[in-house]
Every structure is written in structure tokens, then in C-alpha cells.
Structure 1
Amino acid sequence: MDNSKYLKKIIIDKVAGDEVIEVEDVTIEEARLNVFLNGNKAISMMCIPLDQEAHAIGFLMSENIISSVDDIEEITLSENGLRVDIKAAVDASSLDNLYKEKTLVSGCGGGVTGNIAGSVEVPFNQTNFVVAPEIISREVKIFYRDSELYMLTGCVHKAMLYLEDGSTVTSEDIGRHNAIDKVVGKCKLKGIDTTKSVLFVSGRLSSEMVVKAVMHKIPIVVSRTAPTHLGVKTAHTHGITLIGFARGKKMNVYTHSGRVIR
């Protein structure tokens, strides 16, 4: 994929000790994506204008506003890529809840959610899906190695779903929560089952990151960094295996370790 169109060249002063050099650098593009649902504006999101349809669908399904891709009648992306129009059957109470709660999440990019910890009513995840620790270690290494936009800019987060058949789906964005919505949205639009998968994310595992896994019935979530206390509590309550500090052959399994340690 050609990522050059999401990069903007700038001139900076590079300081190294007493030396100052004027050099060309690159920054990542950030844009405001407007999502319209059945003719009405649902939300605006600051993001990389990449995988916009998947982003919109992933977000709306994370919030339980759209329950299934079968409920989607039409998705249209504007010519400039900054507006997604969706026609779909919606859960009116979940849409109202998004506007009522409108909680600013701790993830990068200033996302908003109506699914605050403690208010999510989803059955406990009882899947028997398991994964070997060596697979976690291997995929973490691949996850951080194959991240082109991050290597170019140092300014993006990444999400990856490792699926039951060993294949992966990835997305990148300036926001951790956006990256998750995008990767889940890609899977949903392609009819890929996420209930037997591992979600790898960059950055800390705060509660709203875990809630997204809860809403999509993703049983295992992995990061190279730490979870918050509420993130651990949310994972424990909803049956999510939460893994942090996954580096090399080491990892901390905070909840429901039976899916990994056997």
C-alpha cells in the first residue's frame, strides 16, 4: 500500500548538542472525518483519512449502534474522503446513550464513547479459544516490526487481529481506539469472525480499549505496555484474557490466563 499520500513534508531545525541543522522531515496527516447515519450527523473523529468506511462501521458497532453488518443498507465515502454516509438499521437507545454519556476517553486522539466501564451489558466471554505463548511472542515481534507509518513518522498507533487460521488484519491511526475500530471494521465488512482472535494493540490497555474487545467478543488482548486498574477489572468482569508487557518471551497475564498458559 502506498502510504506517501498520508505524509506531509516540513522543514525543521534538528538540534544535536551544539549543532543545529535545517532538514526536511515528514509528519502524518490528521483530518476530521464526519460520519452521517441515516442522514443525520452521528459523530466527527480526528484520524488519518485511511480506511474511513471501516473506521465508521467499527466505531458504530463498538458502540452497539449498529448490531450487524447485515443491518447496513449502504455506505458512501465522499470524494474528498472526509465524510462517510451510512444507511442502516440502528439501536436508538445506544445512539442516544452515545450522546448522553459522551465520555472523553484516555486514548490518543480524544475519542468519545458511550460505553463507559460498568455500563456495558454483554454476556461473559466463555469461548474455549486458546493460543500458545510462543505465538503471542512471535506475533508481537511482527506487530512492531511491520509498521510502516510508525517507522516513517513515530506518530501512529497500530491494531492487529490474529485470526484462528493464523492470518492477520492490521490498521494504523493517530489514535489507539481509532486503530481498533478500523481493524474490527475491516473484519466486519469482510465477514471475518473476530470471536476467535487475538487483538494486539500499541499503547496502554485502558478500560475503553478493553471494552471494545468486549463488544466484539474478542477473547484475548495483548500489548507491550501496561494496563490500567480499571482495564484489568473490566477484562476480569467480562471474561477477557488481558496480557501486558509482552516483550520477547516474557509477558504478564492479568486475567483469565487459561487461554494462554496450559
Structure 2
Amino acid sequence: MQETLNIAAYKFVPIDDAAELRETLRAKTHELDLKGTILVAQEGINLFVAGTPDSVRGFLAFLRADPRFADLEAKESWSASQPFRRMLVKVKREIIRMDHPAIQPATGRAPGVDAATLKRWLDQGHDDAGKPVAMLDTRNAFEVDYGTFEGAIDWRIHKFTEFPKAVQKHRDELAGKTVVSFCTGGIRCEKAAILMHELGLDNVLQLDGGILKYFEEVGGAHYQGECFVFDGRESLSPDLKARANGVSARASEDPDIAIKR
């Protein structure tokens, strides 16, 4: 039996034809028999789709033929069966809701740190300048409960729109440290890092590709537990193996849950 290829990808890029693009993507995913969730907004695209390897890679090639998505990077993982029940393609106000319109990642992203460098910093207990590293989990509390980096800061937010107020309340905790914001696949920590820079916290980085890219490149070093994912697999271990065998209704039936990364 052929395994199912799952991809997660996003890109902040101006999109002025969101409604038309939605119809194009809806038709293409139907043609390729893909399932999952795609959100399109003026600020960019956010997607998580699954299907046969040929269909998924064909869809990526189709997307990358559009100059706006030519450099779209996708994180891959595998499952024994299709983790989604249907295909949703939706136009939204934001591809990840923060309710902070001044944050526009398409105009310039915050600096990032790659997985190998972060592991080295965590191994040695400080960054290359000798500063302590503060790992800041930007995910919702229920996600954090599945697993997170050792000693990570967790403000127990219940939705990402609470993050800006949480930063204002706790910013003094981050002073004098190199802050690495992280999330499942990179999209939330990208907005979070930009916000923190705008609030005057200069030494803030985002973990490039999020937890899933970290798992892919360096495994589970300094990470405890698993990573909640937004499909029927429920969560992935550091070797990117699925925890659940069935389809999680919470993730697969709610497009706003199923696409957060």
C-alpha cells in the first residue's frame, strides 16, 4: 500500500486575486484528488495538503509555476493513510490571524536561525555571543501540552490573537537574552518575531521552518514530547512518525484549527 505524502507550506507574498486563485487551486486539487486545507489572503498563502506522492509533487510544481510561489518551500512527512476528510480552499483576511494589521511579513521578515545552529546553541547553553537563549513557544496552550523545547517560555495563550498582549505583559522576561520564537511550521513565529522587533526587542530570531523543520534536520535534541499537527495524525514524534491512527475530528473538521502552524 502506497503511503500518503503530507506537505505543509506557506509564503507571505502580496496576492491581489485571492478569489480567482481560490477557484484555480480548488480545481487543481480536485483534479489531483488531494485533501487538506489551503488559505489564501491578501498577505499570502498557507497550505497543508495530502495525497499520493505524484499528485502532491505535481501540485507543488503547479504552484511554483506562478512567479509568486516559485521559491515556496514545503515540509514533507508521511502517513499510512489520508489524514484529511475533505479539501477546503478558503479566502481569509489573514493566513494566520493575529489581528495586528501593521505586521506585514511580505515587506520584510525578522532574522531567523536554522535548526543546526539552534541545536549547537542549546548544546553549549548560549548563543555565539555568549548570551542565554530563551526559547519562546508561540503556540496555543493545548499544543504546547503535547511537547515543546526544554525550558521553553509558555504564556498559556489560547489563540494567536492573544500573543501581542502577552508580549506586552511579559517583555521584561526577555531582556538581555537571545529570543528564539518557534511554532509548528514557522508561520506564527514569523509574525511573532516581527511584532517583537517592532516593540523594541531587537535580539529576537525565528526558528526557520518551525518545529517540523527542526525534527527533519536535527531530530528531537532538546525537545520533550511530540508536536501537535493540524490533521488526523494528531501529533508527530521527532522522527516525524504519526502518533494517532485515526482522524482527529478537531483538526480535520475546523479549517481554522487545521491550518495553524
**TM-score, length of structure 2 as denominator length:** 0.27
Which structure is richer in relative contact order (CA contacts within 8 A, separation 6 or more)? 2
Q: Which structure would you say has the larger Rg?
A: 1
Which one has the bigger strand percentage? 1
